[in-house]
Structure 1
Amino acid sequence: GRMSAAHTPRDLGPLAWVMDELRATLRSAVEAVSSYVKDNDEARATDLAEVDSTALRMLRQQLHQAVGALEMVELSKAALVLRALESATQRMVQKPAVATAEAVAQVERGARALIDYLERVVRQRPVSALALFPTYRDWQTIAGADRIHPSDLWEGLEPAASVQPPEGKAYQPGPQVRAHLDRLVLHLVKDANLQAAVPLAQLCAGLCRGAGEPAVRQFWLAAAAYFEAASQGLLPADLYVKRAASRVLLQYAALVQGNLQGVAQLTQDLLFFASQAVPPESPAGEVTPCLRLLWQANGWTSTGVWDYQSPVLGAVDPLLLGRLRDAITAAQRAWASRADSDGSAFIPGAGLSDLAAALRAAHPPSEPLASAWEQVARSIDAAGSESLAPALAIEVANGLLFLNATFEDFDPLDATLAQRYGELAYRLEGVLAGEPAPEPTSWMAGVYQRLSEQQTLGQVVARLQAERAELESVLDAFFRHPELPTLQALNGQPERLDAMRGVAVMLGLPAAARALEEVRRHVHEWLAGESLPDTGELAQAFAVVAPNLSGLGWLFDTLVRQPDLARAQFHFDEATHTLRSQLQPDEPLVITPPAAISVPQGEAESADGSESAQTSALEVIEDTPQDEDDEGELLDIFLNEAREVFGQAVQALRALRDSPGSLPDLTALRRGFHTLKGSARMVGLADFGEAAWAMEQLLNSWLADQKAATSERLELCAQALAGMTAWVDS
């Protein structure tokens, strides 16, 4: 039931970047709905006229923004599910009666499921979006939606439109056909007579052959495949499957009248059911010819079949999983301290007993392994201060290593977990009995190799990122204040760049190596020059240095998650002297040097300083390139999201005018500029992002000092938002 890699976004970086915000939004959803339901219950008990719904209204805005983020990273089905929660919160405001304790439970379960789904995508272990259907169904029910259907989450490819039915009789609509359809559908739906589906499938295939309109032909072919699947008991006996038969009958009546309304949606639903029914092999001959034809034409495979009613996502309580990880870490530390004492330190077995209890609570199928750890704990306690057998000490250390690897990247849907639990338990129990430890299995060897590679690569990339961040900080100071002290601070940077380039070469990253060479060339020229570079030279250099440093950060992030993608996706453009990703626009970005931006530092700045920052930020916006046709859907999503953020920021600004010392509102305003900065950079609007960054830096200084906002600075924020809004609207 797993999705293939082709169904996931090519680059997982953007999703990884917004995951923290999505988690925070869903946590806020659970808290806000829970609080609203509690207040609602108290209001009913005390006959209050109404409940304050401000928190839910603000939550709806947060959810709307999160939906846009999911659409931006090409997770349309997850976005659809989250949009259902957005609608559900709106209905709770409009109709408080639906805000019940069960609704709270459904929001909480669904939030866990959606986070589980997204984390699987980030970890490159995606499952079908159909796994989200229980959440989608619950949230759509709260929202009072007219339509709730699993095919809404189907990720099937565009169906082949030119598929012709198998040879046979052709039928035309008429009284006799209608009579047969009425009688057979009644037998199938009311009497659950699967044999009635056999002639229904034949009748639909005949109507397909006789139809002239392509959309009608496709509908009848899908209906024939659906009834064939039903006749063989290949579909679940749920409400959605049963309703489909009655809907076919209603659609027939509409088609007879020449009305094609609804045919596309029903065709989609029928094709979905067909994709979930694997054509059987029958020794008596082909019993599902239309079904098999659609499978072959559309390239469906059994990996796309999913039990959409089963709530498999979010089944493990994050709190229990966190306690288990803490217990594993504590046991590993205790065992490490024993190793540091040459095995002479007494390690009580209580730590392993706690581990066993946490393991059993977090994942009940691990019972055999939990029991084995308890046996080890009892054995250690019985031995007291006596030295443990070396074989047992080694096996405990290995067992903890494998357990840590399993739950660091835990997938409760992994079909091999039970076998692995059993093998680890067998090894521990065998060593306790004095038997020699068996040879490691292939998966154990794989864990060793993966941990070694990840640790090595992770350490190297972390060092590269740290070096890049320090380099960026020094260069940023120089670009913003090109003076002798900041120039002298560049001493030593060419050597740092040489070292980074050497590591990039060893990691097989030629594009990164070239980018580092280019940055080094500029730094070396500045240091070797007899005077400071002029503004024009700095602007030209910034247009090369800034994209390279930004691209290197993106490349290094990708390298940890997806090494092959990092090597294939990035290249060095010799024409522009910049590191580029395949996901960037073909045209190089025009970036305004930050030296033009002067952000007020601290509260000691005067109103004149604020005006200077205001003017510079707005100038950056005015110079930003206008919308290009080739920026497409991502840019449209950004513009829509920006308008939402503007609205939230304006609300925070109004609140600050009334209460300048309100830290929550100041934080909300800063978050707005932070969101605009990240989203703008993601779609290639570097200048817009630079302006938002400048305002974010200003607000960071206020928050750091925890002082009330001045009227001058609030006016600066207002004018910056006005300039950004005007640009977006244009």
Structure 2
Amino acid sequence: MVTDTAPEFDLGPLSWVQGEIDHALSRGVEALTAFKASPRDATALKHARAHIHQAAGAIQMVGLDAVTAYTDELERQLTRMEELPPPEAQAACDLVDRACRKLKIFLDELVSGANPVPLKLFPEYELMQQARGVRAAAPTDLFYPDLSPRAPKIASGKTVTPKKLPSYLVKQRRLYQRGLLAWLRGDEEGARVMRDAVQGIEDVQTHSAQRSFWWAVGALLEGIVEKGVESGFGVKQLCGRVDLQIRRFVEGSAKVADRMRREVLYYVAISAPVGPQVQAVQRAYRLPGLIPTADVLSADVVRVQPHLREARDLLATAKDLWLKLTGGRVESLPKLKQTLSAVRDKTAAIGEPSLSRLAAALADRLDKLPSGPVSEALAMEYATGLLLAESAIENYATASTELPPQVDAMIARLDTSRPAGGAAAPLLDEMARRAQERLLLAQVAREIQANLRHMEQVLDAFFRDHDKRADLATLAHDSKQIMGALKMLGLAHAEQLLTLCQQQIDQYAQPDARVADEDLELLAESLSGLGFYIEAVEQQRPDRDRLIEPLLAKRLGVPAKPHVDEHDTVEAAVKDLKTALPATLAAFQRSPGDASVRERLEAELTTLKNDAELIGDATLQTDSDAALELLAHAGTGDTAALQDAIAAIAEGRAAAPAPSPSEETMRLLETDAAQFDAELLDIYLTEADEVLDSVASSAARLKAQPDDRDALTTVRRGFHTLKGSGRMVGLTELGEIAFAVEKVHNRLLEDERPASAAVLALIDTAQTSFRVWVDTLRRKGRVTPDATALRTAIEKVDAELPAPRYPSSRARR
């Protein structure tokens, strides 16, 4: 069975700065509201940027990498507002306002113990990217699984000597490429060939991190073979980049880009568990817990969250008041009625009917309470009802279909003050047990906190005046009471920490004991940590142990475990290469006629360009390409332009360059690459002919029947195919042109509009233009498309359409 639990996240750092982050985001939203009201008020926008930048910095500090990508996008939106005309700036304000509120909710849930699932932020992230022209936001930007798990150790029957390894890997790459080409042509057997090739690569890996990567790739390919994941453009593009990664292995590099690891694991995460390897990888990396459900993504938590938060706080107050009432404090009843009346109003605003019925029933039953003491049975049933309401609010985004019958059963139990039967009985019985535990825990925690406060007061007086030692002896009684409670609750670590604190207090009680400020601070920190820990225990937070474990380790003299980063990444290699570039350029400038120095500089820039593609850094890829072009034309004279280009790339201090692959390896690679590119182009040309014939046939149907939805859908699908296949083989410009045509057809289908004369003219211009470009490619092997006429046709159709709406947000593509 695949676990759906997300990887653990250390809430310690975040919990300390969450208040600061929340405050900064709130101030940022306030400043943004002022800017929206007066778009020419640059000061308000400047303040909004400063506050949100402050929040972003704190988030980056606590290690939430996926959320850092989200805050980077927030800051980009604020920067672009400076250049927008007022109407567009006001729309952008609404977008950023919502994104900030969603971020506050996400962080609040995280600190409250929710699993860290950053993809919950994807709908707002996608809308922000679309607003600045990004056509397809990548869910993997917000997908950060723990990359530390390793593949299980399974004995391999293959043994390849280091001398034969390069030729073996070249063979596996050729096998992978044959499978990839067949799969792209529509032959499903090709995916099996790819999987076999990757299995062969995994079998010869000696480094656990690299073997784990190929194990995950094997799971992805198993998902493709067994139809667990859709073979869309994203998957095809990723499989193409896996070929680039194999090439790197053939060249002798063992580095893998973290971005590629995340992308592979994302598609394994969204795959159905169709095979043992998919299931094993999902289980090892705990991937299902990182993918939010469709209901979670579509829930309007930004509107509902304020009501949920207030209802949660009111219920916490109601539970405390009920505890006091059942303890004999009848003066709590009026306040309890008022509180539950407010809960009823808040649940009505939330809009969940079953929750509203439960809140109303809890409020109404207070008027029917018998005079005198509350019976134990009623006390438990009412506490169970409060717990059910709390559970429904905590799990609002993933509300179960079982909630309505649970509420019905709960109301019946409130009326009879005894357990009822039915399907919901087991769950309510469990809740009743938990309610009893919570009531007991609340009482014990309250007593512990009271004793801790007394200890801290006495110690505070001693810290200020060391002559007040006499009172320290009285603390043994408080400590003993707390110790008994901790023992009863089974909190061994807390008991151990308190024992160490009491030993320190006993030493201070001696008249001649030496008192060091550092030791006093540790004692104060330990008792304060115990207080936070007990609060976390009462709230049943799963991360509570991290509040006292560092204190216990410090007292016991246990050194902190050093962080070990086992795998070497492409990102790290890029950083090293960037720092190496200035030294290599300086060597080239000293000896411009030295062919070996020029080749070394060219090799480093080429490696940077290729690595940039692996990590998805388009800017670095473009900059490296430009530097290579300048190097190709740099003679023995002026190299100022080349120096400027490399200065734009380089960062940090110099480092040694990476070793170059052998000549034989390079020859094999160049032969493979040329053949592979030619075969890919041939696939594109053949597919384009078929697609354009289908478009022409559908266009004829549309002329006869302009509202033929099937024909219009076929045309749209045709240009969607040309977009994907063009991008796949490197014909990016043709892919983007096809995408522009596809978008128009998406709008037509979405608005259910018939094919007008302008639409028919657009289809004719598009398919005629693509036929010319495909023919040129076939004859010359390259093409520079002139899309002027086609873009004019698109503009004419756009003029007939209403303003576009935002497309729906999806985390799975």
CA contact under 8 A between 2:29 and 2:97: conserved in structure 1?
yes
CA contact under 8 A between 1:200 and 1:224: conserved in structure 2?
no
1:353 shift after superposition: 6.9
Distance change (3 Å), C-alpha of 1:77 and 1:377 = closer
1:456 shift after superposition: 1.9
1:397 shift after superposition: 6.7
- Residue in 2 aligned with 1:722? none
CA distance in 2, matches of 1:355, 1:569: 32
Are 1:126 and 2:115 an aligned pair? yes
Are 1:499 and 2:460 an aligned pair? no
1:354 shift after superposition: 6.1
Residue type at the aligned position of 2:447: V
CA distance in 2, matches of 1:337, 1:256: 72
1:120 shift after superposition: 4.0
1:455 shift after superposition: 1.3
Distance change (3 Å), C-alpha of 1:461 and 1:139 = farther
The counterpart of 2:190, out of the listed 176, 193, 199, is 199
CA distance in 2, matches of 1:114, 1:88: 15
Distance change (3 Å), C-alpha of 1:156 and 1:211 = closer
- Residue in 2 aligned with 1:561? 536
Relative to structure 2, which stretch is displaced further, 552-561 or 140-149?
140-149
Report 1 or 2 for greater relative contact order, CA contacts < 8 Å, sequence distance ≥ 6: 2
Are 1:514 and 2:500 an aligned pair? yes
- Residue in 2 aligned with 1:319? 306
- Residue in 1 aligned with 2:347? 359
SS at match of 1:274: helix
- Residue in 2 aligned with 1:65? 57
Residue type at the aligned position of 2:144: W
CA contact under 8 A between 1:201 and 1:223: conserved in structure 2?
no
CA distance in 1, matches of 2:83, 2:312: 42
- Residue in 2 aligned with 1:461? 448
1:309-328 per-residue CA deviation (whole Å, 9 max, x = no partner) reads 82569467232124535765
Task: Map 1:654-669; keep pairs closer than 5 Å.
Answer: none
1:140-163 per-residue CA deviation (whole Å, 9 max, x = no partner) reads 556878973326523143364798
- Residue in 1 aligned with 2:778? none
Are 1:274 and 2:279 an aligned pair? no
Distance change (3 Å), C-alpha of 1:401 and 1:101 = farther
SS at match of 2:62: helix
Relative to structure 2, which stretch is displaced further, 510-519 or 133-142?
133-142
Task: Map 1:306-455; keep pairs closer than 5 Å.
Answer: 306-307=292-293, 310-311=297-298, 314=301, 317-325=304-312, 355-362=343-350, 364=352, 367-368=353-354, 370-371=356-357, 401-406=383-388, 410-412=393-395, 419=402, 422-429=405-412, 438=420, 441-455=428-442
1:245 shift after superposition: 0.5
Distance change (3 Å), C-alpha of 1:380 and 1:267 = closer
Task: Map 1:87-236; keep pairs closer than 5 Å.
Answer: 87-93=76-82, 100-138=89-127, 148-150=138-140, 152-158=142-148, 160=150, 172=171, 181-182=180-181, 184-185=183-184, 187=186, 196-206=187-197, 209=200, 222=216, 225-235=219-229
1:554 shift after superposition: 1.2
CA contact under 8 A between 1:501 and 1:516: conserved in structure 2?
yes
Distance change (3 Å), C-alpha of 1:142 and 1:158 = farther
The counterpart of 1:478, out of the listed 452, 455, 465, is 465
When the two structures are aligned, how many residues end up with a matched partner? 528
- Residue in 2 aligned with 1:546? 521
1:220 shift after superposition: 6.9
Distance change (3 Å), C-alpha of 1:361 and 1:500 = same
Relative to structure 2, which stretch is displaced further, 542-551 or 407-416?
407-416
CA distance in 2, matches of 1:102, 1:583: 52
CA contact under 8 A between 1:328 and 1:403: conserved in structure 2?
no
1:442 shift after superposition: 2.3
- Residue in 1 aligned with 2:47? 55
Q: Give the structure-2-normalised TM-score.
A: 0.52
SS at match of 1:466: helix
Listed as ranges, the gaps of 5+ residues in structure 1 are: 188-195, 281-287, 480-486, 527-536, 572-578, 589-627, 634-730
- Residue in 1 aligned with 2:234? 243
The two structures, once aligned, show a CA RMSD in angstroms of 5.5
SS at match of 1:53: helix
1:459 shift after superposition: 0.9
Relative to structure 2, which stretch is displaced further, 162-171 or 410-419?
162-171
CA distance in 2, matches of 1:499, 1:247: 65
1:601-658 per-residue CA deviation (whole Å, 9 max, x = no partner) reads xxxxxxxxxxxxxxxxxxxxxxxxxxx997999xxxxxxxxxxxxxxxxxxxxxxxxx
CA contact under 8 A between 2:220 and 2:278: conserved in structure 1?
yes
CA distance in 1, matches of 2:101, 2:311: 18
1:549 shift after superposition: 1.9
CA distance in 1, matches of 2:172, 2:272: 30
Q: Give the structure-1-normalised TM-score.
A: 0.57
1:21 shift after superposition: 1.8
Distance change (3 Å), C-alpha of 1:513 and 1:249 = closer
SS at match of 1:158: coil
CA contact under 8 A between 1:128 and 1:306: conserved in structure 2?
yes
CA contact under 8 A between 2:337 and 2:366: conserved in structure 1?
yes
- Residue in 2 aligned with 1:7? 8
CA distance in 2, matches of 1:632, 1:250: 28
CA contact under 8 A between 2:456 and 2:527: conserved in structure 1?
no
1:530-550 per-residue CA deviation (whole Å, 9 max, x = no partner) reads xxxxxxx86x53232231122
Distance change (3 Å), C-alpha of 1:88 and 1:118 = same
1:474 shift after superposition: 1.6
CA contact under 8 A between 1:32 and 1:56: conserved in structure 2?
yes
Distance change (3 Å), C-alpha of 1:226 and 1:436 = closer
Distance change (3 Å), C-alpha of 1:36 and 1:568 = closer
- Residue in 1 aligned with 2:15? 16
CA distance in 2, matches of 1:139, 1:557: 38
CA distance in 2, matches of 1:452, 1:216: 51
1:389-420 per-residue CA deviation (whole Å, 9 max, x = no partner) reads 99999998766534543555642258686535
- Residue in 2 aligned with 1:574? none
Residue type at the aligned position of 1:500: D
Residue type at the aligned position of 2:346: A
